[in-house]
Structure 1
Amino acid sequence: MDSLTSFLLGGATVLALAQARSRLTGFAAQRPEDYAASQPQFDLRRHLNGEIDCEGAIFGPTGRVTSRFTGDFLARWDGNHGTMREHFRFDSGAEQRREWQLTLGNGNRFEATAPDVVGTGRGTVSGPAVQLAYRLRLPKDAGGHVVSVNDWMYLAPNGHIVNRSEFRKFGIRVAELIATMRPRVPA
């Protein structure tokens, strides 16, 4: 084996080990049942309802902030079916809108769809945590790629929500989003 082949195989092995370690010990390793015994209980119909303010940042693959944003959400429920309209404003001046259709299922499961979501997102509520996995088609100005999203929301004791999402392409993390969400306080 020549030295270039040896170097490439060694690099591939290190990358594979790093990815395996990340999936065993990192963000991707958590499971909804990890939070089942914790309080307070996240109730989608209660905590994702009404007018919601949001702010956050998106981090690129190097860990640096690539975008900051604010958002206004409006969520409404009719029995086990909910609609959440999101309006994002980015520091670049760009705006984005998304309308989620949420359907509560048996037990602690739910489904979510939106026009830029490929297929149906599958979610689980467990204790103060919500996990939603889906595939998202990015806007054309962001390349139009389809990425896999692992979205977690954690309910804080004061009713605010911390949202952390990882975006992956071919299993490699390409972006991370961290945001807070809270009920709008009437003016």
Structure 2
Amino acid sequence: MKQVWLGLIAVCLLAGCSSKIEDYQGVEPALHLDEFFVGDLVAYGMVQDRSGKVTQRFRAEIDASWEGANGVLDEVFYWDDGREQTRVWRLTKVADNTYIGTAGDVVGEARGTTVGNALHWVYQLEVPFRDGTISVTLDDWMFLLDENRLINKTEMRKFGFRVGDITIFIERKQAQ
């Protein structure tokens, strides 16, 4: 367990110092979405506002599958306020290290690239706000820690200003 925490700290430090996907060239283990996102996964996460205060926590159950170049991530979120939310990602591998993704609350397509143990993708997400929704830009970085665990760090922006962050830890259910 100590090694996992040290790995998490190292990943967070690397993410803070780097802004280019190419920085992860050759970093092992290599992240292949069509290999990691297969089967039953569980995620734990938190949302922080721009000051760093945790505003929401959640657990998510993910049923992931791939057929050829197409993947489906069927996610059910259980929020700390009792809400449940479902998101179904449809992913397509369009080149060796390039993916696109769509979901019901994603505006247009998410586009991303994997290099080494990292995935970087950016997309617009409709999020609940007051009596409706607003569109925020998510700058999403995923880092494969080992064959069973991945960490996801996301910066949320609106009108170019950082409005919050999301941190998610994902693991295969059998790794627990």
Task: Give the TM-score, by structure 1 length.
Answer: 0.81
Which protein has the larger Cα radius of gyration, Structure 1 or Structure 2?
1
Q: How far apart, CA to CA, are the structure 2 residues paired with 1:83 and 1:31? A: 27
Match of 1:133 in 2: 122
Which residue of structure 1 aligns with residue 170 of structure 2?
181
* Aligned pairs (5 A) from 1:94-133: 94-133=83-122
Asked if the contact 2:36–2:147 (Cα under 8 Å) also holds between the matched residues in 1, the reply is no
Paired residue type of 2:27: S
Q: What residue in structure 1 maps to residue 82 of structure 2?
A: 93
The residue number in structure 1 matching 2:8 is: none
- Distance, in Å, in 2 between the alignment partners of 1:141 and 1:124 is 34
What does the per-residue CA deviation read over 1:115-148, in whole Å, with 9 as the maximum and x for residues that have no partner? 1000111010110001111000113557501000
Cα deviation digits, residues 35-76 of structure 1 (max 9, x gap): 012111001111011100010111011110001110100011
Distance 1:80-1:67 versus aligned 2 partners, 3 A rule: same
Q: Percent identity?
A: 34
Q: Is the contact made by 2:43 and 2:61 (CA closer than 8 Å) also made in structure 1?
A: yes
The match for 1:156 is 145
**1:110 match: secondary structure:** strand
- How far does residue 107 in structure 1 lie from its aligned partner after superposition? 2.5
Q: 44, 49, 68: which one pairs with 2:57? A: 68
Query: Please, what is the CA RMSD of the aligned residues?
Result: 2.1
Q: Which residue of 1 aligns with 2:3?
A: none
Aligned counterparts of 1:116 and 1:157: Cα–Cα separation in 2: 30
Task: Report the AA paired with residue 57 of structure 1.
Answer: M
1:159 Cα offset (Å): 2.8
Q: Tell me, what secondary structure is at the counterpart of 1:45?
A: helix
Question: Greater share of strand residues, 1 or 2?
Answer: 2
Residues 1:141 and 1:83: Cα distance change in structure 2 (over 3 Å): farther
Q: How many matched pairs? A: 163
Q: Which ranges of 4 or more aligned residues in structure 1 deviate by more than 2 Å?
A: 26-29, 139-143
CA distance in 2, matches of 1:186, 1:35: 25
Residues 28 and 166 (structure 1), Cα distance of their counterparts in 2 relative to 1, 3 Å cut: farther
Higher RCO, 1 vs 2 (CA within 8 Å, ≥6 residues apart): 2
Partner of 2:41: 52
C-alpha distance in 1 between matches for 2:17 and 2:123: 14
Unmatched tracts of structure 2, length 5 or more: 1-14
Structure 1: any 5+ residue segments left out of the alignment?
1-25
Q: Deviations along 1:18-43, whole A, 9 cap, x unmatched?
A: xxxxxxxx859511111012111001
